[in-house]
Chains A and B, each alone.
Chain A
Amino acid sequence: NAGVTQTPKFQVLKTGQSMTLQCAQDMNHEYMSWYRQDPGMGLRLIHYSVGAGITDQGEVPNGYNVSRSTTEDFPLRLLSAAPSQTSVYFCASSPGQTYNEQFFGPGTRLTVL
């Protein structure tokens, strides 16, 4: 049972490049989410999904796309990277739709030059 896995661990992009951050969980959790962590600001919710085929925006969705074709995977896409997207990105999963514990992945540190 690997829990929540994220790839890559580190990534450097140039402004305007696109990329996908991968997130997978093997706990059969319905709920998955993406957060970004910036110094002095805690974690902020980007997008979330309550099940396969269902996604919605969080607090800071601009510049990011998501899809949820399977229960296990929840990739985050940056279509045209900007320096403001330099951050540490965390994926999390949780069972059900009540306030259960969210299990976090180890994070992806992204730098946009």
Chain B
Amino acid sequence: AQSVTQPDIHITVSEGASLELRCNYSYGATPYLFWYVQSPGQGLQLLLKYFSGDTLVQGIKGFEAEFKRSQSSFNLRKPSVHWSDAAEYFCAVGSGGYNKLIFGAGTRLAVHP
């Protein structure tokens, strides 16, 4: 069965530091992979997605993610974190067509000034 694992429940970084959020997936075929961000009290917003092609994908707000098939990973990165990046981040994999998504449990990011 398809699944998504985000190993880190909480991460705290200092403003200006680099960030990497981990995501591992289990999926038999070529995966469709997504990162969403949820600010407090808000719905989810798409940061970036990977369907095929270049394994390094660029997203909004300065985020990027790299698809590594050999490691079944799709880690999210940002070179310099801003205080406004404090939020919860969800990795998801497309499952079974029709835009059905399986989400990871999420990683909550705190940013220290």
Q: Which residues on A are within 8 Å of B, measured CB to CB?
A: 4, 31, 33, 35, 40-45, 48, 50, 56, 58-59, 90, 92, 94, 97-102, 104-107
Contacts and interface: CB of A to CB of B under 8 A. Distances in A.
B98 A104 contact: no
B105 interface: yes
Interface residues on B, range: 20 to 34
Given A97-B99, A99-B32, 17 more contacts: A4-B43, A40-B9, A42-B6, A42-B106, A45-B101, A90-B44, A92-B44, A94-B99, A97-B98, A98-B99, A99-B94, A99-B99, A100-B99, A102-B46, A104-B36, A105-B43, A106-B43
Contacts of B51: 99
A21 to B, nearest CB: 14
Nearest to B9: A40
A24 to B, nearest CB: 14
A41 B102 CA distance: 11
A102 B99 contact: yes
Given A99-B51, A99-B94, A101-B49, A107 B103 contact: no
B49 A99 contact: yes
Given A97-B98, A99-B51, A106 B42 contact: yes
Q: Which 3 A-B pairs have the closest CB atoms?
A: A104-B43, A42-B103, A99-B32
B45 A104 contact: yes
B43 A48 contact: no
11 contacts: A35-B103, A43-B92, A45-B102, A97-B97, A97-B99, A99-B94, A101-B49, A104-B36, A104-B43, A105-B43, A107-B43
B46 A48 contact: no
Contacts of A44: 103
Contacts of B98: 31, 48, 50, 56, 97
Nearest to B33: A99
Nearest to A38: B105
A105 B38 CA distance: 11
A59 B1 CA distance: 12
Nearest to A32: B99
